[in-house]
Amino acid sequence: MPVKIRMQRHGSKKRPFYFIVAANSTSPRDGKFIEKLGTYNPLTTPATIRINNERALDWLQKGAQPTNTVRRILSFKGVLYMKHLMRGVSLGLFDENAAKEKFEKWNAEHAELVAKREESHRKAKQEKRHSIHQDSVRRVEEKQAAKAAAAQPEEAPATEEAAPEAPATGEESEAPAAE
């Protein structure tokens, strides 16, 4: 019975949520499975991944084949790296404590990288909100200025008409005097 580690879709239409399961390769995608190893929610940013690393490593060592997507998830979580290190231990290249130290070092670097990504995403999202807010404020101010400009020209022509008449009357009174 070949075993695959794959994703089992749950959630409603257009709202996917996946279980990561170890299942017989002949069973249907959403059908019978041997063991649930974790969950994957692609709707959150960044995607939420919860997985039991020890059980996933155990299944990989037993020969279970992950699908492409699950392979990427396991690689992201360090399960495949741990499998690689455990293979080195079994070949006698280094002891188990050295393997755990290497994994802890990798895990700390990886956690720092993920934290930087989350922070940059949070800042980008905040800047986008700020720019949208500034754009909407600018549009409102432009509309208010346009309304104010539309209201002023109605009053302005009356004063402009009165102003040209006054100099014209003054010119007429000067013109006869010049004759």
Q: Give the 3-state secondary structure of residue 18.
A: strand
Q: Global pTM?
A: 0.69
Please list, in sequence order, all residues whose beta carbon lies within 8 angstroms of the beta carbon of residue 80, skipping any fewer than 6 positions away.
Answer: 60, 71, 74
User: What are 24's strand-pairing partners?
Assistant: 3
Please list, in sequence order, all residues whose beta carbon lies within 8 angstroms of the beta carbon of residue 177, skipping any fewer than 6 positions away.
Answer: none
Do 21 and 66 fall within a single domain? yes
Q: So what's the pLDDT on residue 89?
A: 92
Do 74 and 103 fall within a single domain? no
Q: So what's the pLDDT on residue 1?
A: 72
* Residue 85 domain flag: no
**Residue 9 is part of which domain span?**
3-79
Q: Give the 3-state secondary structure of residue 109.
A: helix
Q: So what's the pLDDT on residue 31?
A: 87
Q: What is the Cα gyration radius of the chain? A: 36
Provide the domain count of the chain.
2
Q: So what's the pLDDT on residue 148?
A: 87
Do 75 and 108 fall within a single domain? no
* Residue 179 domain flag: no
Q: How far apart are the first and last CA of the chain?
A: 122
Low-confidence ranges of the chain (pLDDT < 70): 153-179
The dihedral over CA atoms of 29, 35, 39, 42, expressed in degrees to the nearest 10, equals -20
Do 56 and 113 fall within a single domain? no
Name the phi and psi angles at 117, rounded to 5: -60, -45
Q: So what's the pLDDT on residue 168?
A: 54
